Amino acid sequence: TGRVALVTGASVGIGAAVARALVQHGMKVVGCARSVDKIEKLAAECQSAGYSGVLIPYKCDLSNEEEILSMFSAIKTLHQGVDVCINNAGLARPEPLLSGKTEGWRMMIDVNVMAVSICTREVYRSMKERNIDDGHIININSMNGHSVVPQSVVHFYSATKYAVTALTEGLRQELREAKTHIRATCISPGLVETGFAFKLHDNDPERAAATYESIRCLKAEDMANAVIYVLSAPPHVQVSCNSCEITSLL
Ligand code: NJP
């Protein structure tokens, strides 16, 4: 309660559900994405619902380092800094290894790997400057970050999520060496019913619908609950979730 959280990719899907849940739990949440109008709408909904926290929309293209750095300096000026960071923004483009476009691969690297790394470094700096020792960094990973499935359109995406697995584990080691109690967790969902698969299939609704019908899906709210669970553990408890995969039985 009262702490500042940054949620990347808060405009739709899992990020929007996480932002809403954190506001409901009383946090001051900076939600960023390119479609800031959607975050503004969500902020108004949270306000009308009478939630005890607040959602502050921020427009940021996470594939652009300068925009990320400006966002961190605005957060420092207006809200002192970030206590909790949910690195959620991510994308999958249908670019197989044998025939994919470099541009599509680069977009995935920029958002899924570079933005996560830049935000992590900046959040740590923000916590250190204010002697915050109970901060938390949560990376929304994927089951594809722990095993390679035989589906060529997701192989490059999977590689970027393997990077998230390594980044979170490495981060936990660096935090331990730095003798802080800041925690790092990654959460790895199976398929979640959001707009994600539409984008993966080039906005083809039939192929996206077939994906969602073929696998049991989680809801974005299930992921928000997982984030709340991780954050509500007592300060000495670190939920690592390295291969803690979350799937649906329904
Ligand atoms: O995806 P989607 P999810 N700059 O497409 C933002 C992982 N995951 O919520 O900029 C800034 O509904 C985008 O905002 P906008 C997945 O890898 C998912 O399902 O307005 N923001 C939007 O808010 C990802 O890490 C599934 O377009 C950028 C958000 O990212 C996380 O869960 C399964 C951006 C994407 O919303 C959230 O995915 C799994 C940029 N350049 C892992 N580019 C699943 N859904 O099935 C994108 O295993 N965003």
Choose which residue among 192, 198, 247 to substitute to test ligand 1 binding: the one with the highest number of ligand atoms within 8 A of its C-beta.
Answer: 192
State in Å: Cα 156 to ligand 1 middle: 16
- Does the pLDDT of residue 181 top 80, yes or no? yes
- Does the pLDDT of residue 174 top 80, yes or no? yes
Query: CA-CA distances (angstroms) from residue 101 to 48, 105, 156?
Result: 44, 7, 11
Q: Give the model's confidence band at 243: pLDDT under 50 very low, under 70 low, under 90 confident, else very high.
A: low
**For ligand 1, atom 22: residue with the closest CA:** 9
pLDDT of residue 144: 95
Residues involved in catalysis: 157
Amino acid identity of residue 71, one-letter, is M
State in Å: Cα 92 to ligand 1 middle: 8
Q: Is 89's C-beta closer than 6 angstroms to any atom of ligand 1?
A: yes
Choose which residue among 7, 8, 12 to substitute to test ligand 1 binding: the one with the highest number of ligand atoms within 8 A of its C-beta.
Answer: 12
pLDDT of residue 1: 61
Residue with tokens 């935090």: 175
State in Å: Cα 91 to ligand 1 middle: 5
Q: Give the model's confidence band at 197: pLDDT under 50 very low, under 70 low, under 90 confident, else very high.
A: confident
CA dihedral of residues 168, 174, 176, 178 (deg, nearest 10): -140
Buried b (16+ CB within 10 A) or exposed e, 179-214: ebebbbbbbbbebbebebbbebbeeeeeebeebbee
Mean pLDDT score of the chain:
94
Task: Quick: pLDDT tens for 15-28.
Answer: 999 999 999 999 99
The ipTM is 0.99
pLDDT of residue 18: 98
**For ligand 1, atom 8: residue with the closest CA:** 142
Q: How far apart are CA 52 and CA 3, in angstroms?
A: 12
How confident is the model over 144-169, as a mean pLDDT?
95
pTM for the full predicted model: 0.97
State in Å: Cα 82 to ligand 1 middle: 21
Q: Give the model's confidence band at 205: pLDDT under 50 very low, under 70 low, under 90 confident, else very high.
A: confident
DSSP 218: B
Q: Is 189's C-beta closer than 6 angstroms to any atom of ligand 1?
A: yes
Task: Quick: pLDDT tens for 25-73.
Answer: 999 999 999 999 999 999 999 999 999 999 999 999 999 999 999 999 9
Q: How far apart are CA 231 and CA 37, in angstroms?
A: 28
